[in-house]
Amino acid sequence: MVDFAKGYFRRSVFKTYRFFKHPRKLKTRPVMRWFARHFLDKRVWRPTQHTFAGGMAVGTFVTLQLLPIQMPSAVILAAVFRVNIPIAIAMCWVSNPVTMAALIPLEYNVGKWALAFLTEVPSTPFPTKFPEHVAEMWLALREHAPVMLFGGVILGAVLVPVSYVLTYLIWGAIDQWNKYRKQPTLPLKDLNS
């Protein structure tokens, strides 16, 4: 039964793939052509050195934007830049309720520092605990959310190249180490002979 389900699932995935990549569909519909070029490209699903590093960079930028639409944003940005989609989605899980305690003040302080050069920053201090009433929470968010969003964009813009370069270099180092490890070793000559 499980083998039948696996086979059925695999056949249906291939049929769907062939349907979306059919030349007649791609010729007549520009939306399908865009979809096939960005989502059905094998490079965005199988990691290579460039696509993996690009997926990490896109995921790092999106995870620093404290918005509720992180995963769809990561999928769209990864498809547009043709980088690894699963890695970009996985990086969105870095900003979770546990890490929010560190990310929110960091983004707020960076946004406040950056906006001090451009405009006036909020005069009220950032709340240390949630207000009890919804109206008070809305007023606090309305005043401090733009500062946090700006801080998230600045942090993301700074960390995207860092993330890309580090991931690219680590991938290359691991690849070199694997090649070195797989090299055959030459037998040592006996010193007594």
pLDDT (tens digit per residue) in 43-82: 888 889 999 999 999 999 999 988 888 899 999 999 889 8
Residue whose structure tokens are 């830049």: 81
119-128 pLDDT per residue, tens: 766 656 666 6
135-153 pLDDT per residue, tens: 666 666 677 778 888 888 9
Domain ranges of the chain: 19-177
Radius of gyration of the chain (CA): 24
Contact 137, 53 (CB under 8 A): no
Q: Is the pLDDT of residue 168 over 70?
A: yes
Round to whole Å and give the CA distance between 44 and 88.
10
Report pLDDT for 129. 67
State the average pLDDT for the chain.
80
Round to whole Å and give the CA distance between 144 and 132.
17
Is the dihedral angle over the CA atoms 29, 85, 60, 100 positive or is it negative?
Answer: positive
Q: Which of 99-103, 161-165, 178-182, 188-192 has the highest mean pLDDT?
A: 161-165
State the pTM of this model: 0.72
